[in-house]
Amino acid sequence: MVGEMIAKGKNASELFPAVVKNVASKNIEIKKLVYVYLVRYAEEQQDLALLSISTFQRALKDPNQLIRASALRVLSSIRVPIIVPIMMLAIKEASADLSPYVRKNAAHAIQKLYSLDPEQKEMLIEIIEKLLKDKSTLVAGSVVMAFEEVCPDRIDLIHKNYRKLCNLLVDVEEWGQVVIIHMLTRYARTQFVSPWRQGDVLEDNEKDFYDSDEEQKEKADKRKRPYAMDPDHRLLIRNTKPLLQSRNAAVVMAVAQLYWHIAPKSEAGIISKSLVRLLRSNREVQYIVLQNIATMSIQRKGMFEPYLKSFYVRSTDATMIKILKLEILTNLANEANISTLLREFQTYVKSQDKQFAAATIQTIGRCATSITEVSDTCLNGLVCLLSNRDEIVVAESVVVIKKLLQMQPMQHGEIIKHMAKLLDSITVPVARASILWLIGENCERVPKIAPDVLRKTAKSFTSEDDLVKLQILNLGAKLYLTNSKQTKLLTQYILNLGKYDQNYDIRDRTRFIRQLIVPNEKSGALSKYAKKIFLAQKPAPLLESPFKDRDHFQLGTLSHTLNTKATGYLELSNWPEVAPDPSVRNVEVIELAKEWTPAGKAKKENPDKKFYSESEEEEDSSESSSDSESESGSESGEDEEDDRSGDSAEDSGESGSEPEAGKGRAATRSRARGRGDSKDVDKEKENSKTSESSSGESSSIEESSSDSESESESESESESRKVTKEKEKKTKQERNPLTKDVSLLDLDDFNLVSTPVALPTPALSPSLIADLEGLNLSATSSVISVSTPVFVPGKTHVLLHRMSGKGLAAHYFFPRQPCIFGDKMVSVQITLNNTTDQKIENIHVGGKKLPMGMQMHVFNPIESLEPAGSITVSMGIDFCDSTQTASFQLCTKDDCFSVNIQPPVGELLLPVAMSEKDFKKEQGMLSGMNETSTTIIAAPQNFASSVILQKIVNVANVGVVPSGQDNIHRFAAKTVHSGSLMLVTVELKEGSTAQLIINTEKTVIGSVLLRELKPVLSQG
């Protein structure tokens, strides 16, 4: 009926008088609907609405609390200014009501009245002050909400209630919790000194601090910090912790922001786990949580690093979620995980979701700038993407490459040429503009191409996008200045076109450029500097996270989400230099001493002891007592005494006032009566229960006061010691399997990247070497098992010819065995021959000339070499996985000879044994940028498996992977220095062709190896 019309937004106001008459109806449903109607239209029909007021005033005195409450609700919802005094009166009365439910409604009514008539503020603050003292969990949330709305700056009202709010927090309903936590965060920032010390910054880099809270606490205690946290500050942090396990995402987020803003940095780590959990819920929740994580991850990377994989994108995610996840992944990227991430990004680039693919490319660009180690890899990868079929991907890559090249003013002529070619095919304006800009900037490096590009674009000038036109003009101007011979006419043609362009921007630019570069009689001093103006060094753009500037907003707020200040946003103040007087929070000084000196100690040892607050337990006891009498006594005696003892001291401190206790006694009496006539269910039980709960705490005081204080304390202490012991045991148990698991996991996923690669089992090495290696082997667990070389070519290389060595000849060869001097070195055996007829004395290695990073372990000096004698010594050289030459001097007693060793790429490897399955798995991970391949044509007899095997192992030190198929040969190795996998696949095709594929992270070596293998395989 009418209700439906309201719901649909139709105007039903003409029915007002008829409906309002029903306000006195007996039927509750109709009554409620009338209320709904009244609240909706009262503002428009104020006079008529007044008719109903008297009904509510009567109802406010009703004995039923439900009716009192709902009358207050409706009365305060009627937005008619005339009744403000009536409302004020009603709120005042209700705030002193016995029923907490009515008081709760009074708190709600305060906000309504305030929004109707802000002039009542002072009066309302008084009521808020009164209600803040209320001990019911029901009221707390609502009154804090009213406080936030009416007088958020009156922080002084909170002082006295601070501890009570902290203690009640767990039991407040979830919506109230959110509001209270936000308020307390602001409060803490004004009242306590900062717990963040310089030392904490360092701690952020430590990885172990999120292992478990217990450990953390122990650690924190051990450290005996010079900074002593205010016990009230600690109380807040401790009491909010259990709320991290709330089912309500808003509560979890509120606690997370509280920890972020006020907890010591070492303790904030525990929130990451809960936040990651929230990522499982609805799309909208994910969105907000990810935004907050993005902000956090910029400042404290360490917090979320262990959860890196939780941020991997799923293809079912909405685009906005994907982009946020990408953002977080970028923030978390560092040297250790970048290769895993890049591999992940490769998959993302292929996504169907174009917007997401484009964002990924930008991300790769950002990684390239932030982590210099991979910038070359990234750049190569991006260049590969230029040949992608999808235009958006190509365009985005062009834009990112442009930014990267701008940042690294190195020679990248090849890339620029490649991009110039792309200009013919790309149509996306931004990309075209980027290419033109790039050519213009580097026009002196590509002197032949630039004018040609200008010629082409001049032809299509009229049909280009405005953005592109501007860049064509720029390019023309730059070329005119550097290469005016070739481009003078072209540029003038373009300037003429620009002069008559429709867009005023382009016309302006044309005029500007013409005046600046084309010499004429009027040209002023500026044109002399034209070259400087156009070809100045431009500062590189900074690729930064869009979440960088969000941290000044309190996390979890609307303002943070929108990144603008929302109305009503309350700034989080900075920590005070000196804490304001903490005693303002004392309720009564004498009780306080009791509360904090003895109990405080016990609490520190056992921080999690008293989270479940006492009122709940009491409820249990009272509940059970109403069920069965005999049980109640024993239960409360055994179970709860211990738990409560710590708290009861506190309680008595807080609420030891006389009238309250009296009420408690009354409650027990009424309870007893209720039990007596158990069949008489309805009203009596109802009443007794309400009074019970309202004075639930005070009844506890009675019980606890009967215990002697000292007894309860000692009990709690012994209890706490027991628990801490248990916990220690537990954490110890937990720690062991944990570490084991981590390493297992690593095996699965990271074996390419970060795990220490095991030392190989020696096969050919001399016994002495074997002994040495045995020692090493035990130290690390084997990950990729290095196998023995399949074949050791006897080919030696000349190090020093006897003619140039004055009779001393030296040859070297690669024994292909693991080097004993260091696991990153390639072992080299040098055979020295004395071809003279005299002794050569003191042969040793002199000065070394090694490229950066390269290391060499020399042989011990040889005292003397008999005539016609020869001796073999071994050396170790760490070539850093490159084919650079190691130059050193071979000296004798009299002379010095400069010699070089340049390793063939195949010797920079160690063979690896793996199964076909593993091989495929690894190969799968090393696709895209990490794959190089070529086609080989050769006579069929060359493709016999034994021939291929022989040829390949001759060139490179690789291990053979057993293959299930006849036409595919697989070889695996790892590089000596970095331990990166090198996977070689020879796939025989029909006819006399074969496909040679190399997968490796070390793309440089991969391609060199490919180049070396190709001729070998194709030769007869």
Partner 1 sequence: MIHSLFLINCSGDIFLEKHWKSVVSQSVCDYFFEAQEKAADVENVPPVISTPHHYLISIYRDKLFFVSVIQTEVPPLFVIEFLHRVADTFQDYFGECSEAAIKDNVVIVYELLEEMLDNGFPLATESNILKELIKPPTILRSVVNSITGSSNVGDTLPTGQLSNIPWRRAGVKYTNNEAYFDVVEEIDAIIDKSGSTVFAEIQGVIDACIKLSGMPDLSLSFMNPRLLDDVSFHPCIRFKRWESERVLSFIPPDGNFRLISYRVSSQNLVAIPVYVKHSISFKENSSCGRFDITIGPKQNMGKTIEGITVTVHMPKVVLNMNLTPTQGSYTFDPVTKVQSPKIRSEQVFLQSSFCDLGTWEDRGKGLISWLKLKLLTT
Q: Which of residues 33-92 bind partner 1 (CB under 8 A)?
A: 33, 35-36, 40, 43, 64-66, 69, 73, 76-77, 79
Token pair, residue 408, equals: 């690294």
* 266 and 189 Cβ atoms separated by less than 8 Å: no
Residue 102's nearest CA partner among 145, 69, 147 is 69
The Cα 258–Cα 167 span in angstroms is 16
Tell me which of 49, 100, 215, 302 binds partner 1, using CB under 8 A: 100
* 610 and 257 Cβ atoms separated by less than 8 Å: no
The answer to the question of residue 246 lying near partner 1 (CB under 8 A) is yes
Token pair, residue 464, equals: 């280009």
Q: Is 963 left (phi over 0), alpha (psi -120 to 50) or beta?
A: beta
Q: Using CB under 8 A, which of the segments 647-655, 701-709, 734-742, 957-965 binds partner 1?
A: 734-742
Site mask for partner 1 (CB under 8 A), range 355-394, x = bound = ----------------------------------------
Compute CA distances 506 → 181, 224, 333, 450, 488, whole Å: 56, 68, 41, 21, 19
The answer to the question of residue 748 lying near partner 1 (CB under 8 A) is yes
Tell me which of 351, 648, 712, 834 binds partner 1, using CB under 8 A: 351
CB of 610 to partner 1, least distance (A): 7
The answer to the question of residue 583 lying near partner 1 (CB under 8 A) is no
* 570 and 152 Cβ atoms separated by less than 8 Å: yes
The answer to the question of residue 608 lying near partner 1 (CB under 8 A) is yes
CB of 628 to partner 1, least distance (A): 10
What residues have CB less than 8 Å from 139, skipping those under 6 apart? 100, 103, 104, 107, 131
* 180 and 607 Cβ atoms separated by less than 8 Å: no
CB of 312 to partner 1, least distance (A): 6
The answer to the question of residue 631 lying near partner 1 (CB under 8 A) is no
CB of 718 to partner 1, least distance (A): 14
In the bound state with partner 1, the residue whose beta carbon lies nearer, of 65 and 930, is: 65
In the bound state with partner 1, the residue whose beta carbon lies nearer, of 114 and 192, is: 114
CB of 26 to partner 1, least distance (A): 10
The Cα 54–Cα 23 span in angstroms is 11
The answer to the question of residue 347 lying near partner 1 (CB under 8 A) is yes
Determine phi and psi for 518, rounding to 5 degrees. Answer: -80, 120
Residues 408-467 that bind partner 1 (CB under 8 A): none
CB of 680 to partner 1, least distance (A): 13
Q: Using CB under 8 A, which of the segments 101-109, 493-501, 752-760, 791-799 binds partner 1?
A: 101-109
Token pair, residue 868, equals: 């016609």
Residues 636-655 that bind partner 1 (CB under 8 A): 643
In the bound state with partner 1, the residue whose beta carbon lies nearer, of 457 and 694, is: 694
The answer to the question of residue 24 lying near partner 1 (CB under 8 A) is no
The Cα 76–Cα 241 span in angstroms is 37
Residue 610's nearest CA partner among 650, 638, 583, 582 is 650
Q: Using CB under 8 A, which of the segments 4-12, 220-228, 759-767, 826-834 binds partner 1?
A: 4-12
The answer to the question of residue 714 lying near partner 1 (CB under 8 A) is no
Tell me which of 175, 196, 493, 791 binds partner 1, using CB under 8 A: 175
Residue type, 266: S
Cβ-based neighbour number of residue 70 at 10 Å: 20
The answer to the question of residue 738 lying near partner 1 (CB under 8 A) is yes
Q: What is the 8-class DSSP label of residue 535?
A: T
Cβ-based neighbour number of residue 574 at 10 Å: 9
CB of 405 to partner 1, least distance (A): 28
Residues 283-342 that bind partner 1 (CB under 8 A): 283-285, 287-289, 309-310, 312, 314-316, 318-320
Total residues in contact with partner 1, by rule CB under 8 A: 126
Bridge partners, residue 810, by sequence:
800, 832
DSSP codes of every residue in 837-896: SS-EEEEEEEEEE--TT-EEEPPPPEEEE-TT-EEEEEEEEE-TTS---EEEEEE-SS-E
Tell me which of 159, 164, 182, 234 binds partner 1, using CB under 8 A: 182
Bridge partners, residue 830, by sequence:
812, 873
The answer to the question of residue 964 lying near partner 1 (CB under 8 A) is no
Compute CA distances 952 → 282, 466, 794, 910, whole Å: 54, 56, 15, 14
The answer to the question of residue 151 lying near partner 1 (CB under 8 A) is no
The answer to the question of residue 882 lying near partner 1 (CB under 8 A) is no
Q: Using CB under 8 A, which of the segments 45-53, 185-193, 604-612, 702-710 binds partner 1?
A: 604-612
Residues 892-921 that bind partner 1 (CB under 8 A): 920-921
The answer to the question of residue 569 lying near partner 1 (CB under 8 A) is yes
The answer to the question of residue 350 lying near partner 1 (CB under 8 A) is yes
The Cα 797–Cα 812 span in angstroms is 5
The Cα 334–Cα 933 span in angstroms is 30
The answer to the question of residue 946 lying near partner 1 (CB under 8 A) is no
CB of 321 to partner 1, least distance (A): 9
In the bound state with partner 1, the residue whose beta carbon lies nearer, of 8 and 795, is: 8
Tell me which of 13, 15, 22, 30 binds partner 1, using CB under 8 A: 30
The answer to the question of residue 634 lying near partner 1 (CB under 8 A) is no
Residues 921-940 that bind partner 1 (CB under 8 A): 921, 923-925
Token pair, residue 753, equals: 């990247």
* 472 and 464 Cβ atoms separated by less than 8 Å: yes
Question: Long-range contacts of range 34-40, CB-CB < 8 Å, 24 or more positions apart?
Answer: 35/70, 35/74, 36/3, 36/6, 37/2, 37/3, 37/6, 37/12, 38/74, 38/78, 39/74, 39/77, 39/78, 40/6
CB of 6 to partner 1, least distance (A): 8
Tell me which of 117, 129, 174, 707 binds partner 1, using CB under 8 A: 174
- Dihedral, CA of residue 744, residue 745, residue 750 and residue 755, to nearest 10: -40
Q: Using CB under 8 A, which of the segments 102-110, 473-481, 644-652, 901-909 binds partner 1?
A: 102-110
In the bound state with partner 1, the residue whose beta carbon lies nearer, of 196 and 611, is: 611
In the bound state with partner 1, the residue whose beta carbon lies nearer, of 258 and 877, is: 258
- Judged by DSSP in three states, 999 sits in strand
Compute CA distances 752 → 115, 234, 354, 980, 1003, whole Å: 63, 45, 30, 6, 14
The answer to the question of residue 242 lying near partner 1 (CB under 8 A) is yes
What stretches of 719-788 adopt beta strand conformation (E)?
A: none
The Cα 261–Cα 454 span in angstroms is 56
Residues 127-146 that bind partner 1 (CB under 8 A): 137-138, 142, 145
